[in-house]
Structure 1
């Protein structure tokens, strides 16, 4: 097993392992030596990045062997791994407001930051890039419905004046169960019954022999091992990050809302930026679009409901009662991305517009009253 993992590290480059080990060691040293809280927070945040790079390399390699649809889902799942672990750690500590804000932030960063960055970088290299129109429309419709379902409890609570915590939590649990069922149905739709909509270029019977498939699976094993071990290191590093999160952000003057919506998604979602940018640079815009939409759907339909259910099981009840401005931000983001993707083409200016919108939302949440 050690030999397999070593070969995978050689494949991905030793230079990516060294900073990961250095930052991991510095984080633990700072924690044990009682360094200033802000220093520990910065080290733990930076330490997530090289581990996320190793995770990104593994998911990208696995995606290359599994096709674009399964690859995008795999990248979305493990790309959101850091955000989920951070949110789960914060939930265990009772930082409910931070967790709820991080869910909104994850969707905003996927739709605006990941998509915008890919369109900007790809547009600087190619005059115009195109992607599958059917896939964009299908994912866009699903994302719109997912955000509406996720925001419905908050809208109901604000318009009806419900203030009974038991009723609000019961409504949130009910919606969470429905959203999880919908997510698995979307997987069946995209991977089984209507897979041609997401991978129309797929050709049956590509002529690979059994021996070639066996060789490919053997070569894939080191990346699977790297994926598992990187996820484990990421979980441990994320625990350190959350431990210093609240006191450090208070020193910096950041509210729980701004921390969850901007700080956590930018750091936790780092492993999504790399494959998105690489796909754009290779003129394969289907990957960034699928990744951004797939990650957003994963957060809205699986991660958010899962945290609701887990919170009730560990004695940290959480609901879907988001602030009104969070709901507005989610709706605007979905509408903007759907408009940009309408013609199934992208350029660098559209990327700038999406990134600019993310920056505006960041400023708005920074000045949002605590």
Structure 2
């Protein structure tokens, strides 16, 4: 899309979303406008992080893209936690994880594979990502089994949830130290090091400024979107599970969609994998635990117990993504497989 046209659309949709919210337009109209607005804002966020990545390097750039790309999901989830909509929060976290592992990674591998017969990235990084994905499943699966089967008291439920949350956060922070400090050379990717002679969209100063501005815009539009969700779900007879796992997740993943797919089509599959899988790991090992701690600050602790449906969706997504990415080679058909699993889960969630 032409840059001038994109920014015109961004300003228009942001303004309409604000007017719709404060003028109390029909909730469905507000939802549609806010959803479109957040896609534009997330795209702006993606452009800013990609520009910052040019100055910070592709490895750190991929991490920044995943982090700021998750800003939409995190901010939406914080407002949901504040409203006490814990089931929708967990559904949105589930959707973010499976959306990145299946939809974002699948599209990146498919479209990159259609242009390049085979794409390669660091297989050691792939192995570590696979192990971390299993760790994430363990962190979500164990509390659910013990709290439900042993019928823990409310106090034990809260204690285990907070304890697991703390352990997952520590694990994620140590992974960042391992991958970006002590073993960054071992996990470097040759494709990620190449800049292909590209020029950044903006100067370093403007890139950082736009990154902050985009994050603030995401915060506002996210709050306006959350305000409409109850009415939207009731009007169309959709479950909180489907709204959280697919509607919120797809809208919130817009930044990762654009950046990861573009990088894959430039034969930078390592950076695309870093964004897609790295973002899922960040959601499971950092964002979800942080939300549990934030809920405690609001005075009503959210437990870490996900439903069997959510755990199944996350487990299936991790299994297929691990199988596809573990050898460090990708082709377009593997992207198709990831997308097919996403469609299967989407149909199942819709029928709930």
Give me the whole-angstrom Cα distance separating, in 1, the residues matched to 2:220 and 2:96.
20
Q: Distance in 2 between matches of 1:135 and 1:84?
A: 25
Of residues 32, 36, 40 in structure 2, which corresponds to 1:42?
Answer: 32
User: Unaligned regions of 5+ residues in structure 2, if any?
Assistant: 195-199
1:280 match: 264
Tell me the TM-score normalised to structure 1 length.
Answer: 0.89
**Equivalent pair of 1:196/1:202 in contact (CA under 8 Å):** no
Range 141-150 or range 259-268, more displaced: 141-150
Further displaced range: 115-124 or 60-69: 60-69
Q: C-alpha separation between the residues in 2 aligned to 1:62 and 1:31? A: 32
Q: In structure 2, which of residues 94, 107, 130 is the aligned counterpart of residue 117 of structure 1?
A: 107
| Residue from 350, 361, 364 that aligns with 2:334 | 350
1:223 is the counterpart of 2:207: yes
Q: Name the counterpart of 2:216.
A: 232
Name the CA distance, whole Å, in 2 between partners of 1:260 and 1:203: 33
The 2-side partners of 1:79 and 1:31 are apart by 24
Task: Select 1:13's aligned residue among 3, 26, 29.
Answer: 3
Distance in 2 (alpha carbons) for counterparts of 1:352 and 1:118? 10
Show CA shifts across 1:13-60 (max 9, x none): 332221111111111222233322111111111110111111111100
Following TM superposition, by how much is the alpha carbon of 1:200 offset from its aligned partner in structure 2, in angstroms?
Answer: 5.0
CA distance in 2 between partners of 1:277 and 1:186 (Å): 25
- State the 1:181 CA deviation: 1.0
Determine if the alignment matches structure 1 residue 199 to structure 2 residue 188.
Answer: yes
Q: Distance in 2 between matches of 1:266 and 1:331?
A: 19
Contact 2:140 2:305 in 1 (8 A): no
Structure 2 counterpart of 1:72, from 24, 43, 62: 62
Out of 177, 199, 204, the residue aligned to residue 166 of structure 2 is: 177
**CA shift for structure 1 position 234:** 1.0
Deviations 1:116-144 (A, max 9, x none): 01011112212222222111111111121
Highest CA radius of gyration, 1 or 2?
1
Equivalenced residue count is: 345
1:256 deviation in Å?
0.7
Task: Describe the SS at the equivalent of 1:197.
Answer: coil
What's the offset of the Cα at 1:286?
A: 0.2
SS of 1:198's equivalent in the other structure is: coil
Report the secondary structure of 2:302's partner residue: coil
Aligned to 1:128: 118
**Deviation per residue, 1:129-169 (Å, 9 max, x gap):** 2222111111111121122112221122233233x222111
**Structure 1 residue 202: deviation in Å?**
10
What residue in structure 2 maps to residue 166 of structure 1? 155
Partner of 2:179: 190
Q: Distance in 1 between matches of 2:351 and 2:205?
A: 48
Structure 1 residues 46 and 316, CA, compared in 2 at 3 Å: closer, same or farther?
farther
Query: 1:292 corresponds to which residue?
Result: 276
User: Is 2:250 the counterpart of 1:250?
Assistant: no
Aligned counterpart for 1:32 among listed residues 22, 27, 36: 22
Deviations 1:182-240 (A, max 9, x none): 11101100111111232154999x9xxxxxxxxx9x93110000000111111001110
Structure 1 runs of 4+ with >6 Å offset? none
The yes-or-no answer on 1:51 pairing with 2:38 is: no
Indicate the residue corresponding to 2:129 in structure 1: 139
Does structure 2 retain, via aligned residues, the 8 Å contact 1:76–1:291? yes
RMSD: 1.9
1:338 deviates by 1.0
The aligned counterpart of 1:7 is none
Other-structure match for 1:212:
none
